Structure 1
Amino acid sequence: MKGIVFTEFLDLVEDKFGLEMVDTIIEQSKLESGGSYTSIGTYKFAEMLSLLSNLSNNTGLSIDNLLLVYAEHFFSVLEKSYPGLLNTYKDPIEMLSSIENHIHIEVRKIYPDAELPTFIVEEKTENSLTMVYKSSRAMHHFGLGLMNKTFEHFNSTATILLEKIKEDGTEVRFFIKKN
């Protein structure tokens, strides 16, 4: 997993819960990296899981809720770092439907070894989108948070429902309907 995901996560933890919480979850997680991350480095996903689990245990918030909050934070990083990519689109449905065939291609140009989830568009209309998320990491609530922020970015709203295809969350179907 790319280091930017870790560095931004720890920035969020510091912003929301304080520097002491960052130290606490790093210490509790017993990380191979020691909790020292660079944005361009690559680290084991198990470290993110450990950090998330310990943050959840210390705050009482579910991992899914933490991933939603983190996605909102991460979207703001994308807005600041890659405005040209976001400005390519005029509509949230168009942007979301192009994750696999455009956005992930651009991400791989910057981070060639990035392990990204797969998004398969099953059905698309002007105001709705059904797509399947596949990832061994089961971070679908991170995806949900990014989708919510995508609509907000376009001054729009949507109803987004998810259905677990696999109970472990490694395959999830998103039903997105623009309001």
Structure 2
Amino acid sequence: MKGIVFTEFLDLVEDKFGIKMVDKIIHQSKLESEGVYTSIGTYRFSEMLQLLQNLNKNTGIAIDDLLLIYGEHFFGIIETSYPGLLATYKDPIEMISSIENHIHVEVRKIYPDAELPTFLVEEKKENSLTVVYQSSRAMHHFGLGLMNKTFEHFNTKATINLEKIKEDGTEVRFFINKK
């Protein structure tokens, strides 16, 4: 997992819960990296899982909710760092439907060894989209947070519902309807 995912997560934890919480979850975790991350480094997903689990234990906030908040936060990084990429789209449905064939292609140019989830478009209409998320990491609520902020970025409202295809969350179907 790319380091930027870790550095931004810890920045979010510091912003929301303070630096003491960052130190606490790092010390409660058994991290090969010892909690020292660079944005360009690559780290084991198990470290992110430990950090999330310890943040959950210390705050009582469900992991899915933490991932949702983090996905919404991470969209701000995309807005700041890659405004040209966002500017190529005029509609959130168009942008979300191009994750696999455009956005992830661009991400791989920057981070060739990135392990990205798969987003398969099942059905696309002018005001709706059905997408299947697949990832062994089961971070679908991170994706939901990104989607929420995508609609906000385009000053558009939507309802986004999900159903777990696999109970462990490694395969999830998103039903997106633009209002």
TM-score (norm 2): 1.00
SS at 1:79 equivalent: helix
1:3 corresponds to 2:8: no
1:109 corresponds to 2:109: yes
Counterpart residue number, 1:148: 148
SS at 2:61 equivalent: coil
SS at 1:72 equivalent: helix
Counterpart residue number, 2:157: 157
CA distance in 2, matches of 1:73, 1:140: 15
Counterpart residue number, 2:88: 88
Residue by residue, what CA displacement relative to the aligned partner does 1:8-34 show, whole Å, maximum 9, x if unpaired? Answer: 000000000000000000000021100
Deviation at 1:100, TM superposition (A): 0.2
Counterpart residue number, 1:166: 166
CA distance in 1, matches of 2:135, 2:157: 26
CA distance in 2, matches of 1:24, 1:176: 37
Deviation at 1:86, TM superposition (A): 0.4
Residue by residue, what CA displacement relative to the aligned partner does 1:105-159 show, whole Å, maximum 9, x if unpaired? Answer: 0000000000000000000000000010000000000000000000000000100
Structure 2: which amino acid aligns with 1:140? H
- Sequence identity (%): 82
Gaps of 5+ in 1: none
Counterpart residue number, 2:127: 127
CA distance in 1, matches of 2:73, 2:125: 29
Deviation at 1:4, TM superposition (A): 0.1
TM-score (norm 1): 1.00
Question: Aligned residue pairs: how many?
Answer: 179
SS at 1:121 equivalent: strand
Counterpart residue number, 1:177: 177
SS at 1:133 equivalent: strand
Counterpart residue number, 1:51: 51
SS at 2:43 equivalent: coil
Counterpart residue number, 1:100: 100
SS at 2:160 equivalent: strand
Q: Which runs of 4+ in 1 moved over 2 A?
A: none
Counterpart residue number, 1:137: 137
SS at 2:54 equivalent: helix
Structure 2: which amino acid aligns with 1:2? K
CA RMSD of aligned residues (A): 0.3
Counterpart residue number, 2:76: 76
Residue by residue, what CA displacement relative to the aligned partner does 1:38-96 show, whole Å, maximum 9, x if unpaired? Answer: 00000000000000000000000000000011011100000000000000000000000
CA distance in 2, matches of 1:122, 1:32: 39
Counterpart residue number, 1:33: 33
